Amino acid sequence: MAVTAGFDEERRAIYTDLVLSSLHEAARRRLEAIMRPGREYQSDFAKSYVAQGKKEGELKAKAEAVIAVLEARELEVAQDVRERILGSTDLAELDGWIRRAALVRDARELFTATAS
């Protein structure tokens, strides 16, 4: 919606939700008829949320992979280690941890300069 162009993302999301939830059933059905499966998002607003969701999904999957490798090797994954892994927002860091998880003798070694 062009009217929300100057809003920050949170305010834009709230505004859009309010407008959509205020539509009468007939208007909502018409809008749904326009929307077809496989339609690509047109607005930067929607595209940014799709990209954000994809990145969050990648981060979660990689973090879970690190933990899975450690657990498959029967290494203890303490709660603070688990939280640090799951809290990472750096895809490259998580990629490195996945590789290191196959080599370390202790889960905390993921975070040190060298793994043996």
Q: What is the pLDDT of residues 78-112, one digit of tens each?
A: 999 999 999 999 999 999 999 999 999 999 999 98
Q: Which two tokens stand for residue 2?
A: 């062009």
**One-letter amino acid for residue 27 of the chain:** A
Residues 64 and 13 in one domain: no
pLDDT band of residue 50 (cuts 50, 70, 90) is confident
What's this model's pTM, rounded to 2 decimal places?
0.64
Residues 110 and 59 in one domain: yes
Is residue 79 assigned to a domain? yes
Q: How many distinct structural domains can be found in the chain?
A: 2
Range of the domain at 10: 1-39
Is residue 45 assigned to a domain? no
C-alpha distance from residue 114 to each of 3, 23, 62, 74, 96 (Å): 52, 58, 20, 20, 11
pLDDT band of residue 19 (cuts 50, 70, 90) is confident
Residues 34 and 59 in one domain: no
3-state secondary structure of 54: helix
Residues 61 and 114 in one domain: yes
Give the span between the Cα atoms of 68 and 51, in whole angstroms. 26
Residues 74 and 104 in one domain: yes
Residues 35 and 65 in one domain: no
Residue 113 confidence (pLDDT) = 66
Q: Chain-wide mean pLDDT for the chain? A: 87
Residues 63 and 111 in one domain: yes
79 backbone φψ class: left, alpha, beta (φ>0; ψ -120 to 50): alpha
